[in-house]
């Protein structure tokens, strides 16, 4: 049987790693919706049944067997005459090798199996550790249409798609697990354009949605015609089922219908990535909500706004934890922020427990001058109280340190670093300020927070301070944040030499100092909770520096 037209449903879904039954139900529901719209074929994302990335979970044979058994059960269900499904799953070959695979299931059986050939092993990816690379694939036959099924990384080089084109593929359908970072959508488009130019074949790019630990998958599935024009574009940061019609014209396939969604600008994309990552981390891990210290500063205010956007105000509990150095201005700003967001706000003074710790240490600290140690006791006391509230009521503690602070160690272990997740961990301080003003002027559809000013303007305009001593400001020990962030971006994202950074107008002594702070804070970052990846190079999965490290750039 050869068909000259078919209707394709692209299922942009939000799976949960390890929830095989739940992920299968997502596929089942997408297939039912596609069937109701008279679709012939459903395309799902990479490793849909396992969730992506499954990491070492796929080294557990029982997990892989459950994925394979579930895939076969879904294949049997396609015997109802409804649409076929392209399904991503881990799979053992006949030789017993473990592969990142995609199946074509149709008419009650597994019609074809293809394996990912190019396994990524850089940045956030580590697939060579768990999967065996497959051979260069040939196309599969779907009711007379020869479909190429490269998997994600397979299209980032020319070899796999060249092989598919040379062996007769007529159209390329690509399951992807491509995580978000800034300008990632444009980068994907450039890669797809290159493959379409190379093969003269239309290409459909189906991407996963949702948060998985540090990674956020933004969806944004799309297709290009063989002439490189846009066939359809699905939204970012939303589950969706995209329906398109395809028609054979001679030997070529053309998309004849498909909607085009407007993609968000960079500010909206960054905000929504933080919100999606936080929301999925909380809900997928079964927390009833979150609790955070609301200090009256910019970082905690932005985190509170993101939490309300992600979860709703009823699931966010804020606590002001004042000490003698906490200003009336900060107390008012925190209260105003909580009121604007509509969330619960309590006050727990910390003077008594801090003084208790100080008294307990009087003997050990006799003859020494008060300083950073005593300041950090305030932060650690706040951490203890927030963790106690979490233990009592089950809410996850959110941490609120930005990337600038995490870079140079301007955060207290077992204090403000206590908690389970940090939505702004990969945002520099200047980005936090920028996004706070953006959110006051914008609220994307689908977010649960209120419209209008949710972060009081005074929080944005006042001088930042940790308020751990009298008249303290961040700039007592750090350069201005625009200077600091530029140096940090050069050191972290770009791995630039001190000499090259100096050419940007920065003092060599300052660069050396920031580099030193960056290196010696590595041990703190290893103990920090996960947080959303936003930049091209986040701390953790992307940047794996040794803790013990005496190198300093003297160029």
**Residue range(s) of every CATH 3.40.50.620 domain in the chain:** 267-525
Q: Specify whether 429 is catalytic.
A: no
Tell whether 477 is in a known binding site.
Answer: no
Tell whether 299 is in a known binding site.
Answer: yes
Identified catalytic residue from 66, 67, 116, 403:
116
Q: Tell me, what's the pLDDT at 6?
A: 94
Alpha carbons 401 and 407: distance in angstroms, whole number: 10
At the fourth CATH level, the homologous superfamily of domain 267-525 is HUPs (3.40.50.620)
**Residue range(s) of every CATH 3.60.110.10 domain in the chain:** 5-257
Q: Specify whether 116 is catalytic.
A: yes
Q: Tell me, what's the pLDDT at 425?
A: 95
Tokens standing for residue 100: 């990142």
Q: Which residues pair with 106 in a beta bridge?
A: 109
CA Rg value for the chain: 26
Residue 337, SS3 per DSSP: helix
CA distances 205 to 151, 158, 172, 183, 225, Å, are 10, 16, 9, 17, 12
Tell whether 178 is in a known binding site.
Answer: yes
Helix (H) or strand (E) holding 203: strand 203-207
Alpha carbons 431 and 266: distance in angstroms, whole number: 11
Identified catalytic residue from 66, 67, 127, 152:
152
Buried b (16+ CB within 10 A) or exposed e, 393-431: eebbbbbbbbbbbbbbbbbbbebbbbbbbbbbbbbbbbb
CA distances 441 to 264, 332, 390, 438, 453, Å, are 15, 22, 32, 5, 7
The average confidence (pLDDT) of the chain is 93
Strand order across the beta sheet in which 316-320 lies:
344-347, 316-320, 290-293, 396-397
Buried b (16+ CB within 10 A) or exposed e, 509-532: eebeebbebbbebbebbeebbbbb
Q: Tell me, what's the pLDDT at 465?
A: 64
Point out the residues of the chain with pLDDT beneath 70: 1, 464-476
User: According to DSSP H, which parts of 225-327 are helical?
Assistant: 266-284, 298-311
- CATH 2.40.50.140, domain 5-257, yes or no: no
Q: What is the pTM of this model?
A: 0.94
User: According to DSSP H, which parts of 156-314 are helical?
Assistant: 159-166, 184-199, 266-284, 298-311
Show the CA angle centred on residue 128, arms to residues 126 and 130, nearest 5°.
85
Q: Specify whether 494 is catalytic.
A: no
Query: pLDDT by residue (tens digit) across 164-186?
Result: 999 999 999 999 999 999 989 99
Q: Tell me, what's the pLDDT at 326?
A: 82
Identified catalytic residue from 46, 127, 214, 375:
46
Tell whether 376 is in a known binding site.
Answer: yes
Tell whether 513 is in a known binding site.
Answer: no
């Amino acid at each position: 049987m050869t068909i000259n037209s078919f209707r394709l449903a692209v299922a942009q879904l939000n799976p949960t790693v390890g929830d095989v039954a739940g992920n299968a139900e997502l596929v089942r529901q997408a297939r039912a919706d596609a069937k109701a719209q008279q679709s012939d074929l459903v395309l799902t994302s990479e490793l849909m049944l396992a969730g992506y990335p499954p990491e070492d979970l796929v080294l557990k044979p029982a997990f892989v067997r459950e994925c394979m058994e579930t895939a076969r059960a879904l294949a049997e269900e396609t015997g109802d005459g409804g649409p076929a499904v392209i399904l991503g799953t881990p799979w053992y070959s006949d030789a017993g090798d473990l592969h990142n695979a995609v199946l074509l299931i149709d008419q009650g059986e597994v019609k074809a199996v293809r394996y990912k050939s190019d396994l990524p092993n850089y940045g956030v990816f580590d697939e060579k550790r768990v999967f065996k690379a497959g051979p260069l694939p040939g196309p599969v036959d779907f009711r007379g249409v020869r479909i190429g099924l490269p998997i994600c990384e397979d299209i980032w080089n020319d070899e796999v798609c060249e092989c598919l084109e040379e062996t007769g593929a007529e159209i390329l359908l690509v399951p992807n697990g491509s995580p978000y970072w800034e300008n990632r959508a444009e980068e994907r488009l450039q890669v797809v354009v290159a493959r379409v130019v190379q093969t003269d074949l239309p290409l459909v790019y189906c991407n996963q949605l949702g948060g998985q630990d540090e990674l956020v998958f933004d969806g944004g599935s799309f297709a290009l015609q063989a002439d490189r024009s846009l066939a359809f574009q699905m939204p970012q940061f939303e589950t969706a089922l995209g329906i398109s019609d395809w028609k054979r014209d001679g030997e070529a396939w053309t998309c004849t219908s498909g909607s085009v969604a407007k993609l968000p600008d960079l500010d909206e994309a960054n905000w929504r990535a933080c919100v999606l990552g936080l929301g999925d981390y909380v809900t997928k891990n079964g927390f009833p909500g979150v609790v955070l210290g609301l200090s009256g500063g910019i970082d905690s205010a932005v985190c509170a706004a993101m939490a309300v956007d992600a979860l709703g105000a009823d699931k966010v509990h804020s606590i002001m934890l004042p000490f003698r150095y906490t200003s009336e201005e900060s107390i008012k700003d925190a209260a105003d922020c909580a009121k604007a967001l509509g969330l619960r706000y309590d006050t727990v003074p910390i003077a008594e427990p801090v003084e208790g710790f100080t008294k307990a240490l009087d003997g050990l600290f006799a003859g020494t001058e008060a300083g950073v140690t005593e300041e950090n006791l305030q932060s650690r006391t706040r951490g203890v109280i927030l963790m106690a509230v979490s233990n009592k009521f089950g809410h996850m503690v959110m941490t609120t340190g930005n990337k600038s602070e995490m870079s140079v160690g301007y955060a207290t272990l077992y204090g403000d670093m206590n908690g389970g997740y940090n939505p702004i961990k990969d945002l520099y301080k200047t980005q936090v300020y920028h996004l706070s003003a953006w959110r006051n002027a914008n609220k994307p559809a689908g977010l649960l927070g209120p419209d209008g000013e949710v972060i009081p303007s005074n929080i944005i305009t006042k001088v930042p301070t940790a308020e751990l001593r009298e008249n303290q400001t961040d700039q007592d020990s750090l350069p201005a944040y625009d200077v600091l962030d530029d140096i940090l971006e050069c050191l972290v994202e770009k791995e630039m030499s001190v000499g090259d950074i100096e050419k940007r107008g920065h003092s060599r002594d300052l660069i050396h100092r920031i580099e030193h702070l960056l290196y010696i804070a590595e041990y703190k970052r290893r103990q920090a909770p996960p947080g959303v990846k936003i930049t091209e190079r986040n701390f953790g999965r992307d940047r794996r520096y040794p803790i013990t490290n005496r190198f300093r750039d003297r160029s």
